Amino acid sequence: ETAEVVASTVGNFAHPDDPGMNDFGEVLLRSENAQGYVRVDWFTPQGLPTWGDGRLFILGTKGYIELRKYVDVEGRPGTNHLFWVNDEGTHHEQLDGVPLTYYDHVVADVRGRTQTAAPQEHTFEVMRLALTAQAEATRRGHLA
């Protein structure tokens, strides 16, 4: 299955002295069954107690899931906080200690010439979309 790049942007908003720096990027993707939005940036407020704030959102018609990789802004200790909201209410689960096996599978696939982490065609398609988004990106800020 594939998707199309609907729109993409790269920008340099906070580093005018480094004109080659992309401190912001976003892409909007669409397929027959879903839409996706990806954003990356180098903007971390000084008040955040970590170097960055990795977040993943999955939205559906009956609720959503949010994974906060590095910090819970409510102040709960630990990392890897999972929040979900559905018709029954709001929920939180702390996922420290849950094994993360994906990258181990990627390394094993490279070594063993297998495809356990993801099919090779999927990996190629993801890279095609990323390269298309980069090539077609609107340039903003100090890149314009």
Q: What domains appear along the chain, each with residue ranges and CATH number? A: 4-143 (3.30.360.10)
> What is the reported pLDDT for 73?
81
> What is the reported pLDDT for 86?
97
Q: Which helix (H) or strand (E) holds 105?
A: helix 102-112
> What is the reported pLDDT for 144?
76
Residues of the chain with pLDDT under 50: none
The residue among 5, 10, 36, 38 whose CA lies nearest residue 23 is 10
